[in-house]
């Protein structure tokens, strides 16, 4: 079985790596900022740099916060590109700017290294369960070769196009999720202000056209006042900034995204950066002077 290098063991990367170990893969792991003794205790080999990971791996996976972290880990000093062997595949599962994915892919291509961008959706709960939705950009043959590996971390893996297409798809996903949470928040704030039981509103509408995965996942959290992060507001800000930057580069107006970005910035200013993005409702609650709870 191929040896897998895994770089980035944060909220998402840690459970993803654990699922690969459970599936029987041999891992070599590294994180520049976080300890990973628990991963080594499960049988993974520890490394001292991204370069070392790459030199000992057949496939390298990176799961990092944003574009600069990916560029540093792959193209920077002691990075993947310095240690990697020709014919190796690098899969970046971070959510970053599509232009950076293409830049990294081109740089690795010059070393005869294959590259896929493969961001995920589902947050920490689905990373733990191994049921992430994985959106992939890159060569079809490379994708088909690693698809069984990806499906140890996700319930679906879909090739969206060439390098960068995975992250374009993720940006589309993040726009829809943010605006869906905002729509749910507006609607339920109105219902509670009007004196209607939010639990009954949820039961009444979840089976109709307004029903959605977002509604089913976030309303129970909101009604319990549980804003423990599965996906933090600060990370959604990062993704929407990448969406806005990409849209501006392409000349595509996305005014609704700009609006929800300002809502998220207001929540950040209120000290809620580390809260789950379901806390978008806190913005509407503050304006309406009401709480949407059981």
Residue 283 in any domain: the answer is yes
Check whether residue 246 and residue 202 sit in a common domain. Answer: yes
Domain coverage including residue 271: 168-288
144 shares a domain with 212: no
Residues 62 and 134 in one domain: yes
129 and 172 housed in the same domain? no
DSSP-derived pairing of the beta strands 89-92 and 26-30: unpaired
Give the per-residue pLDDT at 251.
Answer: 98
Question: How confident is the model at residue 230, as a pLDDT?
Answer: 84
Sign of CA dihedral 155, 274, 285, 262: negative
Average pLDDT score over the chain: 97
Rg (CA), the chain: 20
170 assigned to active site: yes
* Strands 59-62 and 45-46, sheet pairing: unpaired
What per-residue confidence (pLDDT) applies to 100? Answer: 97
Confidence of residue 20 (pLDDT cuts 50, 70, 90): very high
Query: Does the residue 294 lie in any domain?
Result: no
Q: Does residue 44 contact residue 17 with C-beta atoms inside 8 Å?
A: yes
Give, as one character, the DSSP assignment of residue 278. G
pLDDT of residue 255: 98
| 134 shares its domain with 189 | no
Q: What is the pTM of this model?
A: 0.94
Kindly report, residue by residue over 36-57, the tens digit of the pLDDT.
999 999 999 999 999 999 999 9
pLDDT digits (tens, 9 = 90+) for 142-151: 999 999 999 9
Residue 131's pLDDT is what? 98
- Which residue among 133, 162, 191 closes a domain? 162
**Among 30, 16, 4, CA closest to 152:** 16
Domain assignment present for residue 293? The answer is: no
Question: Which CATH number fits the domain that encloses residue 223?
Answer: 1.10.1040.10
132 within domain boundaries: yes
Higher-scoring residue by pLDDT: 229, 26: 26
Residue 32 pLDDT level (bands cut at 50, 70, 90): very high
Domain closes at, from 116, 142, 162: 162
CA atoms within 13 A of residue 49's CA, in its CB half-sphere: 15
- Has residue 123 got a pLDDT over 90? no
Q: Quick one: tokens of 72?
A: 């540093």
Any bridge partners for residue 135, and if so which? 158
Instruction: Report percent pLDDT > 90 for the chain.
Output: 97
Residues 227-241 as b or e (16 or more Cβ within 10 Å = b) = bebbbbbbbbbbbbe
Domain match, 188 and 157 both: no
Burial-class residue 13 by CB neighbours within 10 Å (0-12, 13-18, 19+): buried
pLDDT tens-digit profile of 236-263? 999 999 999 999 999 999 999 999 999 9
CA 128 to chain CA centroid, Å, is 13
pLDDT value of residue 71 = 98
169: pLDDT strictly greater than 80: yes
> Can you give the CATH number for the domain in which 69 is found?
3.40.50.720
Asked, for residue 76, whether it belongs to a domain, the answer is yes
Residues 90 and 207 grouped into a single domain: no
Q: Which position among 18, 170, 218, 238 bears the catalytic label?
A: 170
**Chosen domain end from 142, 162, 182:** 162
What is the total count of domains within the chain?
A: 2
| pLDDT(1) > 80 | no
Sign of the CA dihedral running 228, 155, 220, 235? positive
């Amino acid at each position: 079985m191929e040896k897998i290098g895994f770089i980035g063991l944060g909220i998402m990367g840690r459970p993803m790596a654990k699922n690969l170990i459970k599936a029987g893969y041999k891992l070599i792991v590294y994180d520049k900022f976080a300890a990973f003794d628990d991963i080594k205790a499960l049988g993974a080999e520890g490394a001292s740099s991204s370069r070392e990971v790459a030199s000992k791996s057949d496939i390298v996976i990176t799961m990092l916060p944003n574009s600069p972290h990916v560029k540093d880990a792959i193209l920077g000093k002691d990075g993947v590109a310095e240690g990697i062997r020709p014919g190796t595949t690098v899969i970046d599962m971070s959510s970053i700017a599509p232009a950076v994915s293409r830049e990294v892919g081109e740089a690795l291509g010059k070393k005869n290294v294959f590259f896929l961008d493969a961001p995920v959706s589902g947050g920490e709960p689905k990373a733990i369960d191994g049921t992430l939705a994985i959106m992939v950009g890159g060569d079809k043959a490379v994708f088909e070769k690693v698809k069984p590996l990806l499906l140890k971390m996700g319930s679906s893996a879909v090739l969206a196009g060439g390098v960068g297409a995975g992250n374009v798809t993720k940006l589309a996903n993040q726009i829809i999720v943010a605006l869906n949470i905002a729509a749910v928040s507006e609607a339920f704030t109105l219902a509670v202000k009007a004196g209607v039981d939010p639990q009954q509103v949820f039961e009444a509408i979840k089976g109709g056209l307004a029903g959605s995965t977002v509604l089913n996942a976030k309303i129970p959290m909101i009604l319990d006042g549980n804003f423990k992060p599965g996906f933090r507001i600060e990370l959604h800000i990062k993704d929407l900034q990448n969406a806005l930057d990409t849209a501006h580069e392409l000349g595509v107006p996305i005014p609704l995204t700009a609006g929800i970005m300002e809502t998220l910035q207001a929540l950040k200013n209120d000290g809620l950066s580390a809260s789950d993005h379901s806390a978008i409702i806190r913005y509407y609650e503050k304006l309406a002077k009401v709480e949407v709870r059981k």
